[in-house]
Structure 1
Amino acid sequence: MAQVQITQIKSIIDRPERQKATMKALGLGKINKTVIKEFTPQIAGMVNHVQHLVAVKEV
């Protein structure tokens, strides 16, 4: 599968708990932190849920 680079670009302060939990599950939590993940349907759904907080780039 393809890999994607997910970078947090906005803070999770004052966000709903569900979005905070999604960011934690992605391995993010601080601005400018980057993780590389396999682009599975599960990851795609999580990214879609917090798309306003992250930037996604294909590796």
Structure 2
Amino acid sequence: MSGKIKVTLVKSVIGTKQNHRESVRGLGLKRLNQSVVLEDTPSVRGMINQVRYLVKSEVI
């Protein structure tokens, strides 16, 4: 797992659990439709899995 993952925030964090908002922030996402490219690590995958209903991810 040494690749990269592109993560895009596709749904607002308003009304979600506090720890889900913190996971989105931890991924580096602040605004709707913002994308970031991250290293493919188990911790990043865990955060993406926790908020999979808010984000879209693709392996680059």
- TM score, norm. by length of structure 1: 0.96
Supply the distance in 2 between the matched residues of 1:13 and 1:29 (Cα, whole angstroms).
12
How much has 1:30 moved relative to structure 2?
1.1
How much has 1:29 moved relative to structure 2?
2.0
Supply the distance in 2 between the matched residues of 1:29 and 1:17 (Cα, whole angstroms).
14
Q: Name stretches of at least 5 consecutive residues in structure 1 with no aligned partner.
A: none
Corresponding position of 2:57: 56
Corresponding position of 2:4: 3
Corresponding position of 1:38: 39
Percentage of pairs with the same residue? 31
Supply the distance in 1 between the matched residues of 2:40 and 2:48 (Cα, whole angstroms).
10
How many aligned residue pairs are there? 59
- TM score, norm. by length of structure 2: 0.95
Question: 1:16-35 CA deviation, whole Å, 9 max, x = no partner?
Answer: 10000001110012110000
Q: Name stretches of at least 5 consecutive residues in structure 2 with no aligned partner.
A: none
RMSD: 0.6
Question: 1:33-58 CA deviation, whole Å, 9 max, x = no partner?
Answer: 00000110000000000000000011
